[in-house]
């Protein structure tokens, strides 16, 4: 069985559980949304239950080609899914120097929240520094 078949079977299993009213609350349970065209995976987005109540952490997104709208489409799908499930917040964390991620999330109406010492990076003097940014999208304002 290849990775795509395995991921598809996990997603189908979770759909069946949700149809039965089962809700998975394990923070290590990872869900994937895939962008598949003619049987070929063009991108994916991984997410899991967030650390706060009614939140989801978007922790991995990858697309074959940037600036094609595929990443936006994956996040839009996640937002719609979460909003319909009563999730109130989606967040993602990126390194502070990752400007591409920042521009992407801000274009999708995520707000930036600086995080100090998230990755343990300090200045040469040992001072605290912003080494990560949390991008937050509150879904009460959806769409």
CB-neighbour burial class of residue 40 (10 A; exposed 0-12, middle 13-18, buried 19+): exposed
Q: What is the CATH number of the domain that holds 97?
A: 3.40.630.30
CB neighbours of 125 closer than 8 A, spacing ≥ 6? none
Q: How many domains does the chain have?
A: 1
**Residue 128 within a domain:** yes
CA distance 18 to 14: 6
**Residue 21 within a domain:** no
What pLDDT was estimated at residue 95? Answer: 93
What pLDDT was estimated at residue 109? Answer: 94
**Residue 109 within a domain:** yes
**Residue 90 within a domain:** yes
**Average pLDDT of span 44-69:** 83
What confidence category does residue 41 fall into, taking pLDDT thresholds of 50, 70 and 90? confident
Is the per-residue pLDDT at 137 higher than 80? yes
Is the per-residue pLDDT at 108 higher than 50? yes
**Residue 82 within a domain:** yes
CA distance 133 to 103: 12
Tell me: the pLDDT tens digits for 61-104?
888 878 888 899 999 999 988 888 888 999 999 999 999 999 99
| Domain carrying residue 71 | 27-141
């Amino acid at each position: 069985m290849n990775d795509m078949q395995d991921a598809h079977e996990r997603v189908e299993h979770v759909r069946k559980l949700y149809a039965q009213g089962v809700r998975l609350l394990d923070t290590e349970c990872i869900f994937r949304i895939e962008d598949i065209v003619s049987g070929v995976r063009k991108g994916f987005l991984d997410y899991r239950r967030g650390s706060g109540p009614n939140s989801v952490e978007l922790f991995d997104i990858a697309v074959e080609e940037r600036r094609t709208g595929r990443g936006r489409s994956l996040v839009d799908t996640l937002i719609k899914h979460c909003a319909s499930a009563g999730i109130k917040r989606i967040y993602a964390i990126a390194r502070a120097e990752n400007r591409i991620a920042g521009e992407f999330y801000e274009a999708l109406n995520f707000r930036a929240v600086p995080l100090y010492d998230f990755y343990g990076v300090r200045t040469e003097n040992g001072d605290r520094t912003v080494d990560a940014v949390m991008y937050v999208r509150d879904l009460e304002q959806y769409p």
